[in-house]
Amino acid sequence: MHRPICWSELTSGSVGLWGLGVEGGASFRRLQSMGTVPVLVEDVPHAPDYKGLEVLATGAGGLQALLRCDVVVKSPGISRYRPDAEQLVRSGVALSGGLGLWLEEAPLERVTCITGTKGKSTTTALATHILNGLGHRARAGGNIGTAPWDPDGGPAPEYWVIETSSFQVPDLTRAPSVVAVTSLFPDHLDWHGTVERYYADKLSLCTKEGVKVAIAPGADDVLRAQLRSSPAPIRWVDAEPENGWRQAIGLLGAHNARNAAVARAVLEAMGITEARDDERMATAAEGFSALPSRCRSLGAVGGIEFIDDSLSTNVLPAQAALDAFDGRPVALLVGGYDRGLDYAPLARSVAARQQPTLVVTMPDNGPRIGEAIRAVNGSSAEVVDSPDLAEAVATAYRWSTTGGVVLLSPAAPSFGQFADYRDRAAAFAAAAARCGPLT
C-alpha cells in the first residue's frame, strides 16, 4: 500500500494517465499546468495522439509503458479489479484517481462528498443550488459539474459539493468530515465483480479518514442493514414533507423527498445555519429544476404526459418513478443492456399498483423483465414486447388515456442500442413528438 499522494507531488518522477474521457482531460490539463508530461494510455485510443502526444493502446504496449511509471492516474471507468490494474499495483506502481489526489490537499471543511446508487446527482445539484441561493459561492463537482482539480475550472468556490461514484470511492484515502449516501441497490457489477464488493466500495466513503458524520435516508432498509456496524456516526433523516420549502423545488416522487432531506442535512452538518430556516430554504430553492432524464416531464399530448427517466439504469429508479405516479395509469417502457440484475423487485412493484399499468419491453433485456412481471401471481399489468423504442412509445401512447403517463424508466443501461442515456432520451423525445405537439 502506497502512502497517500496529491497532485502537487506529481512534478517529479514518471506519471501515466490511463483513460482520456472527461475526467482524463481534466487530469491532463492539471499535469500540463504543472509542467509534467504524462504517458498517455487508453484501452481503445480514439486517435493516435492527444494534444500532440502519442496515445498507446492498453493491450498494445500501453500496459508495459504504465508499468514503468511511478504513478498512474486512472479514469473512474477503469476498474481497480481488472487484472491489468492489479498487475500495476503488484508491481509497485501507485494507482490513483484524480479525486483522491485532490482530496489529499483540499480544504475539507469546505467540501462534501455525496454518493449513492441513485439520487446522488439530484442531491448534489440541489445542495449546490441552495448554497448559492443562500448567498454562498458553491460549485458541483465530480460526476456532474467541474472536476475540482481542472485548472480550466476558474477560481475556486467557497464550497465544493462532489458527486462521488462507486468507481471513485475506492481510490480515496481520505474524505470530508461530512459525507452522504442517498440509496443502495445492486449496480455496476461488471466493475466491482460482486454485489458484496459493490456495497463495500460504495459505503467505504463513510469509513475514510476524516469523516465525522455520514448522512443517509432512514427509510432505506438496505442502507440501515449495511451501515449497522459503521465506525462513523450516521445521521438518519426522514423525507421532507410536501409543505414548506420542498414545494419550491418542484421535484416528483418520494425518492426526491428523501434526496431533499439528505441535501438539507448535509448543509446543516457543514455548518450552514440558514439551512435550518424553512423560509430561507424556500427562497434559496427557487429556480431549481429536475436534472435531464431524471423523472422529468417533457409535456403532454392530448392529456397524456411523457416522462423522461432515461438515466434509470437499474431496478431502484424504476421503482421510484412508478411510485412518483401512484394514482395514475402508467405505460412503463423498460429494457436495455442486460447486466444480469434481478428484476423480481420491480415486478412486485408493478403488481402492487392499483391503477392500470402497461409494461412495454424493449431490447435487449426487456423480454426478461417482462417474464419477471408475468411471473407474479395476481398481477393485472399487461406486458407487450416491442422491437425498439419508437414502436414502444407508439404502443404506450395508443394504450394510454387522458391523465395517464408514458414513462421511460428502462431499469437498464443504454449500451448497444444508443450512445448513452442522453441519446436514448433524445430518441424518446422525438418519438413523443410524433404522437402530437407536446404542451
47 within some domain: yes
pLDDT at site 330 = 98
Domain that holds residue 337: 296-434
Band (235; pLDDT cuts 50, 70, 90): very high
CA distances from 232 to 106, 165, 236, 333 (A): 21, 19, 12, 40
Q: Does the residue 90 lie in any domain?
A: yes
Q: Do residues 123 and 213 share a domain?
A: yes
264 falls within a domain: yes
Rounded percentage of the chain residues whose pLDDT exceeds 90: 88
**Is the pLDDT reported for residue 244 higher than 90?**
no
Report in angstroms the alpha-carbon separations of 334 from 240, 329, 341. 29, 16, 13
CA distance 286 to 290: 12
Q: What's the average model confidence in pLDDT over 63-81?
A: 97
Q: Are residues 319 and 430 in the same domain?
A: yes
CA-atom Rg of the chain in angstroms: 22
Cell of residue 104, nine digits: 489529499
Is 91's pLDDT higher than 90? Answer: yes
Q: CATH no. for residue 242? A: 3.40.1190.10
Contact 369, 434 (CB under 8 A): no
Rounded to whole angstroms, how far apart are CA atoms 383 and 14? Answer: 57
Look at the chain and report how many structural domains it folds into: 3
Residue 120 and residue 229 in one domain: yes
Answer yes or no: do 86 and 128 share one domain. Answer: no
**What span, in angstroms and rounded, lies between the C-alpha atoms of 123 and 119?**
6
Distances (CA, A) of 285 to 131, 151, 269: 9, 29, 18
Q: Are 253 and 320 in contact (CB under 8 A)?
A: yes
Do 427 and 310 share a structural domain?
yes
Are residues 341 and 423 located together in one domain of the fold? yes
Q: Among the three residues 260, 285, 310, which one is the final residue of a domain in this structure? A: 285
Which of 59, 80, 97 corresponds to the end of one domain? 97
- Is the predicted pLDDT of residue 343 greater than 60, yes or no? yes
Enter the DSSP assignment of 376: S
Residue 291 domain-assigned? no
- Angle between helix 315-324 and helix 254-269 axes, rounded to 10 deg: 110
pLDDT in tens, 296-328: 999 999 999 999 999 999 999 999 999 999 999
Compute the average pLDDT of residues 57-69: 98
Half-sphere exposure of 47 (CA within 13 A, CB side): 7
The CA distance from 198 to 191, in Å, is 8
Residue 237 pLDDT greater than 50, yes or no: yes
* Alpha carbon distance 377, 115 (integer Å): 36
Cβ atoms of residues 15 and 69 within 8 Å: yes
Band (359; pLDDT cuts 50, 70, 90): very high
Question: Tell me: the pLDDT tens digits for 388-416?
Answer: 999 999 999 999 999 999 999 999 999 88
User: What is the spatial distance between Cα 77 and Cα 81, in angstroms, rounded to a whole number?
Assistant: 11
In this predicted model, what pLDDT tens digit does every residue of 257-271 receive, in sequence order?
A: 999 999 999 999 999
Task: Extract the C-alpha cell encoding 170.
Answer: 475506492
pTM check: above 0.75? yes
Return the pLDDT at 230. 86
Give Cα 122 to chain centroid, integer Å.
9
pLDDT exceeds cutoff 60 at 107: yes
What stretch of H or E contains 138? strand 138-142
Task: Reply yes or no on whether the pLDDT at 434 is more than 50.
Answer: yes
Looking at the structure, tell me whether residues 154 and 210 fall in a common domain: yes
Is residue 140 within 8 Å of residue 128, measured between CB atoms? Answer: yes
pLDDT at 2: 59
Which pLDDT value is given to residue 24?
96
**For residue 386, is pLDDT > 50?**
yes
Same domain, 311 and 171: no
What average pLDDT does the chain have? Answer: 94
Shared-domain flag, residues 194 and 245: yes
Same domain flag for 365 and 409: yes
What size, in residues, is the chain?
A: 439
Residue 117 sits in the same domain as residue 201: yes
In a domain, 24, yes or no: yes
pLDDT band at 35 (very low <50, low <70, confident <90, very high): very high
Single residue among 285, 312, 342 that ends a domain in this structure: 285
Domain CATH code at residue 38:
3.40.50.720
CATH at 322: 3.90.190.20
At 289 the pLDDT is: 85
Kindly tell me if the per-residue pLDDT of 1 is higher than 60: no
Judgement on whether residues 372 and 277 belong to the same structural domain of the protein: no
Least confident interval from 2-11, 123-132, 267-276: 2-11
- The strand pair at 296-301 and 382-385 is best described as unpaired
Report the C-alpha gap between 357 and 351 in whole angstroms. Answer: 9
Looking at the DSSP assignment, which residues form a beta bridge with residue 384?
A: 360
pLDDT at 144 over 60: yes
Determine the Cα–Cα distance for residues 295 and 422; give it in Å rounded to an integer: 13
Q: Which residue do the cell numbers 509503458 mark?
A: 65
Q: Is the pLDDT of residue 288 over 60?
A: yes
